[in-house]
Amino acid sequence: MSKKQLLGSLWAEGKISRRDFMAGAAAIGLTASSATALMASSAKAATPKKGGRYRMGLGHGSTTDSFDPATYENGFATNLVFTHMNHLTEVNNDGSLIPELAESWEPSSDARTWTFKLRKGIEFHNGKTMDADDVLASINHHRGKDTKSGAKGILDPIEAIKKDGNDTVVFSLKDGNADFPFLVSDYHLAIFPSKDDKIIWEGGIGTGPYKVESFEPGVRAFLTKNPNYWKEGRGHFDEVEMLSIIDGNARQNALTTGEVDAIDRVDTKTVRLMARVKGVKIQESTGTLHYTFPMDTRVAPFDNVDVRLALKYAMNREEILKKVLHGHGALGNDHPISTSNRYHAGDLPQRGYDPDKAKHHLKKAGAEGLTVSLSAADAAFGGAVDAAVLYKEHAAKAGITIDLIREPNDGYWSNVWMKKPWCVCYWGGRPTEDWMFSTAYAGGANWNDTFWKNDRFDTLLKAARAELDEAKRGAMYAEMQGIVHNDGGVVIPMFANHIHGLSDKVMHDDKVAGNWEMDGSKSAERWWFG
């Protein structure tokens, strides 16, 4: 048996994970694409079946939704884009990065220049062949001074993009970044067909597993199978129907009465009851979604690290996790890196509820009898106000008075978040440490919602970003998690599970991605009817 055959049969019998498989394939010198082909040919025990109309009930969607990738803003948009579009790279359901429209990529030794080889002969739904110009236009749509894109901040590190022939794209970065291929998997950065260096987004034409037949923003999208789909072993359904069902009860009823096959955001209060319904199963995945209480560290009293520590010790996380999420999540440790990230610092001690320590730090700060205002609204996350009320009670035992300000949901992100000194917030999280830290923790970063600046942290961030040695990077990221944990301006009580309700006949791989809801928003591509 050759090494290749051995690897294939190990995978087929489920003895190794997809990640180990890819690592093994790399070790015996297979390219990523032939490894994927090998994996598909080594039939797994549960071979996905083809066919059927897959109906999803999603708790998002607005009449203002658009095909324009610059303005994707909610879960309906992410589910839709991952159903009809492709990206250069893909975060797989085990959290690893695999090639999508890019066949392979190569960094320069300082990780500043990244060369992406594109897959050849991929056709858009309208028959146009995808080439380097399309990639350039698709990325540039989010760059430059006239862009309105939500992804502009992510692409800030890019200095220049150029093509090298029709199948090669070269990115030059301002600084080295070992995780750069992860960045281009962001849902905004879908590859659209282009004309004269501008993408044509109006018709929703992509290279993805399904073609958009109709899209009524805020109501419904209907897609049919792309018969030319290039990816092996994905895109099993004949038709996909996505319904926007914002009301939680309506969504759950739609599933229990068989109107839809899968729903997202099952209410944690009723998930126990849902699990008992015949023909319905519950699927939970722990990902990077976490809830935060960011303080403006530039203003008193939050500029004092002891006050910040006192507030961190003054919260009973277990109770909030139990009462707000009904246990469907994991405890947070005042840093944003989840257990599903590669370099999670597991040996960092879990911070507990300790009113005495909180009092000690208050005394040290000379701030006994502290009174602070906390702005909260359920726009941050469902149950944010309840969590804030519980926190207020916990803090009272440590001698801290929290004045709770109930803010309106409407306009929360423009009027409260990063405007009020202390508020409630959520982060969908990012697949890599560098992405998360660079977005919201680096000194002066666009979305640094605590306005926190720590020189040691910033130095490490830059060094780790360009470091290609895994062990050294791991050590740096562990230290950085410790710095945020002790010095950072954010209280992070918990990570929340994504909870989905599925009909019994919906099948999926053993691993379900946690980076976004619904298997990384790729359920239509990855799942099938058993």
Partner 1 sequence: MSQILTMVAQRLALGLLTLIAVSLIIFLAVELLPGDLAEAILGQAALPDTVAAFRRELRLDLPPHERYFEWLGAMLQGDMGRSLANNREISELIGVRFGNTLFLAAYAAIIAVPLALFLGVLAALYRNSLYDRAINVVTLSSISSPEFFVAYILIAWLANSLGWFPSIANVNQDTDLLERLYRAALPAMTMTLVVVAHMMRMTRASIINLLASPYIEMANLKGLSRMRVIVHHALPNAWAPIINVIVLNLAFLIVGVVVVEVVFVYPGLGQLLIDSVSKRDIPVVQASCLIFAVTYILLNLTADVLSILTNPRLMHPK
Positions that interact with partner 1 (CB under 8 A) = 57, 62-68, 71, 73, 145-153, 202, 214, 216-220, 222, 243-247, 249-250, 253-254, 256-257, 259, 410-411, 413-415, 417, 425, 446-447
- Nearest to partner 1 of 39, 245 (CB atom): 245
Q: Are strands 528-529 and 401-406 parallel, antiparallel or unpaired?
A: unpaired
We find the least distance from the C-beta atom of residue 431 to partner 1, in angstroms, to be: 17
DSSP 214-276: EEETTTEEEEEE-TT--STT----SEEEEEE--SHHHHHHHHHTTS-SEES---TTTHHHHTT
We find the least distance from the C-beta atom of residue 320 to partner 1, in angstroms, to be: 22
Rounded to an integer, what distance in angstroms lies between the CA atom of residue 147 and that of residue 152? 7
Q: Are strands 401-406 and 371-376 parallel, antiparallel or unpaired?
A: parallel
- Nearest to partner 1 of 32, 418 (CB atom): 418
- Nearest to partner 1 of 49, 272 (CB atom): 272
Beta strands of 41-91 (E only): which ranges? 53-58, 89-91
We find the least distance from the C-beta atom of residue 332 to partner 1, in angstroms, to be: 19
We find the least distance from the C-beta atom of residue 360 to partner 1, in angstroms, to be: 35
- Nearest to partner 1 of 92, 438 (CB atom): 438
Residue 386 CB contacts under 8 Å (≥ 6 apart), including other chains: 323, 324
We find the least distance from the C-beta atom of residue 204 to partner 1, in angstroms, to be: 11
Which of these, 202, 172, 87, 189, lies nearest to 138 by C-alpha position? 189
| Neighbour tally for 46: CB within 10 Å | 13
- The per-type count for the chain, helices as H runs and strands as E runs, is 19, 21
| Neighbour tally for 45: CB within 10 Å | 7
We find the least distance from the C-beta atom of residue 337 to partner 1, in angstroms, to be: 19
Which of these, 353, 387, 221, 369, lies nearest to 307 by C-alpha position? 369
Q: Are strands 280-294 and 329-331 parallel, antiparallel or unpaired?
A: unpaired
- Nearest to partner 1 of 339, 415 (CB atom): 415
At residue 282's C-alpha, the angle toward residues 281 and 285, to 5°, is: 145
- Nearest to partner 1 of 68, 386 (CB atom): 68
The answer to whether residues 95 and 514 touch, using CB atoms and an 8 Å cutoff, is yes
We find the least distance from the C-beta atom of residue 510 to partner 1, in angstroms, to be: 31
- Nearest to partner 1 of 107, 501 (CB atom): 501
We find the least distance from the C-beta atom of residue 180 to partner 1, in angstroms, to be: 20
- Nearest to partner 1 of 261, 467 (CB atom): 261
We find the least distance from the C-beta atom of residue 237 to partner 1, in angstroms, to be: 18
We find the least distance from the C-beta atom of residue 272 to partner 1, in angstroms, to be: 17
What 3-state DSSP class applies to 78?
Answer: helix
Hey, which residues does 225 pair with through a beta bridge? 210
Burial 419-431 (b: 16+ CB within 10 A, else e): ebbbbbbbbebbb
- Nearest to partner 1 of 162, 198 (CB atom): 198
Residue 271 CB contacts under 8 Å (≥ 6 apart), including other chains: 282, 326, 328, 499
We find the least distance from the C-beta atom of residue 185 to partner 1, in angstroms, to be: 16
We find the least distance from the C-beta atom of residue 63 to partner 1, in angstroms, to be: 4
Phi/psi at 314 (nearest 5 deg)?
A: -85, 10
- Nearest to partner 1 of 277, 478 (CB atom): 277
Task: Provide the sign of the torsion angle of the four alpha carbons 129, 106, 433, 153, taken in this order.
Answer: negative
- Nearest to partner 1 of 247, 356 (CB atom): 247
Distances (CA, A) of 258 to 224, 252, 274, 529: 21, 10, 13, 14
- Nearest to partner 1 of 166, 415 (CB atom): 415
Q: In the numeric block, which tokens belong to residue 181?
A: 């291929």
- Nearest to partner 1 of 175, 213 (CB atom): 213
Cis peptide before 301 (omega within 30 of 0): yes
Hey, which residues does 212 pair with through a beta bridge? 223
- Span between the terminal Cα atoms of the chain, in Å: 32
We find the least distance from the C-beta atom of residue 280 to partner 1, in angstroms, to be: 12
